[in-house]
Structure 1
Amino acid sequence: MVRVSFVDETTPGERREAWHLEIFEERTTLREIIRRRIFQEVAEHNATRPKVFRGLVQPGDTERTLNGHPVRAPPAS
């Protein structure tokens, strides 16, 4: 078994807590690792329903509107 640690970092340098994935196979693909991470992240989010979503992909304004969430105000010019 191998334990892989992921640390998400934004362009400005903000780092989030490490996320771990245990892999039992001797060989696997990057596609499978990404699939497992997404599956686990969705399962954890659905189980806890936190107020702030910390996932890699954030819904855009259109998706928020379609799902009944308020749209962010456009930036002031």
Structure 2
Amino acid sequence: MSKLKNESDKVVGKTKEGLGEATGNDKMALKGKLQNAIGKAKEKLEEAKDKVAEKTNDFINKHEKKDDDEK
């Protein structure tokens, strides 16, 4: 669900940015840039969280296997 929200933030942000630039509305363009940046940052955070979880699971599985082999 959050991946969809992040993508939505990026798309809506880009749309606002383009609309703001096309109409000369600097405030809307800036808000769009900010929303796009927030979507990208959240996306990177999700990726990092997934990598940490994967590495943690790999570590746990490796040590559980080692413990089982020692029995």
Bigger radius of gyration:
2
Greater share of strand: 1
- Whether TM exceeds 0.5 here: the answer is no
Pick 1 or 2: higher relative contact order, CA cutoff 8 A, min separation 6: 2
Question: TM-score normalised to the size of structure 2?
Answer: 0.33
Question: TM-score normalised to the size of structure 1?
Answer: 0.31
